[in-house]
Structure 1
Amino acid sequence: MTSYEWIWQTGPELDPGRLYTLLSLREAVFVVEQQCAYQELDGHDLAASTHHLQVLAAGRLAATLRLLAPDPVNQAVSIGRVVIHPAHRGGGLGHDLLRAALTRIESLWPGRHARLSAQAHLQAYYGRHGFEPVGEIYVEDGIPHIDMQRLADANRK
């Protein structure tokens, strides 16, 4: 069984090497593996309100995601850039990753909803964590997506 190290950092806490590693994994999966040319650098990664979860296995990045907290207290926290290295898929790491994100949201922003833009084929996957579709399926960067939201009350179930 693989042993993982879980690290949370805000944007300003990321050193250049760690940022490079995060961006490299995201590019390898989203751009190369999924053959989706899109603008990965969106200006959010280094913000103080951005929280990055990095999961390391033997010192190497196995998975990551980021949380974006908007300023208005009545808006949902966004979960995004959820990515797992191909060598670490299929063992439940994704579910652990999502649970860690939801725990962090409840801890830092109690009572805030969580939202994400899911690839449409992962709708049932996120549904297992209390996310429900909001709106219709749309195509973004050539891939069908659907917006999903998890109400803050679902955090207590």
Structure 2
Amino acid sequence: MNYTTQCKKFEELSLIELYRILQLRNQVFYVEQHCDDLDLDDKDQQSLHLTIYDGDVLAGYARLLPPGLSYQEMSIGRVAVSASYRGRGLGRLMMEKSLEHLELSFGKGPIKISAQRYLEQFYGSLGFKTISEVYLEAGIEHIKMFRA
């Protein structure tokens, strides 16, 4: 596959890009995972938005948060891969690009995430270590993970 990756500030997103991002987040978190938390949390405006396109189809997305917004450390959240693109290594590509863009934008430093528990091994393979007990977030088991 020949994917196109972009990382933009909120104000750089076109209306159609923002619509596609919100559409994908809605599909993954609300339709598929039945999350009961509000997606629009006023953090988008201060975050970077990493998108991976296959042509004009949004295949994957991640929100990159600066230090001090969700945690003292920088963070990655709202990671979503379109159902039709799962199982193709897109999640790994997206996380690798997220780590690159965090460093480019905010410098080297620790990263803290709230990960869905079933993805603990996946994030572990990217250098994240579990630092909390399991807790419920949006009705789904999560753990806090840290990458120095």
- Percent identity, aligned pairs only, is 37
1:73-84 → structure 2 map (5 Å cutoff):
75-84=72-81
Look up the SS of the partner of 1:55 in the other structure. strand
TM-superposed deviation, 1:46: 2.1
Q: Aligned pairs, how many?
A: 147
Residue 142 (str. 1) matches residue 123 (str. 2): no
Match 1:89 to one of 67, 86, 89: 86
Look up the SS of the partner of 2:60 in the other structure. strand
Name the Cα RMSD after superposition. 1.6
Distance 1:30 1:54 in 2: 17
Task: Show the counterpart of 2:16.
Answer: 17
1:56-135 → structure 2 map (5 Å cutoff):
56-71=53-68, 75-135=72-132
Gaps in structure 1 of 5+ consecutive residues: 152-157
Distance 1:107 1:141 in 2: 31
Task: Show the counterpart of 2:41.
Answer: 42
Greater Cα radius of gyration, structure 1 or 2: 1
Could you report, residue by residue, the CA deviation over 1:93-141 in whole angstroms, capped at 9, with x for unpaired residues? 1101101111112222223111110001110010000000111110111
TM-superposed deviation, 1:22: 0.3
Task: Show the counterpart of 1:30.
Answer: 29
TM, length-normalised to structure 1: 0.88
Look up the SS of the partner of 1:122 in the other structure. helix
Could you report, residue by residue, the CA deviation over 1:45-81 in whole angstroms, capped at 9, with x for unpaired residues? 122xx11001000211000001110359x93111000
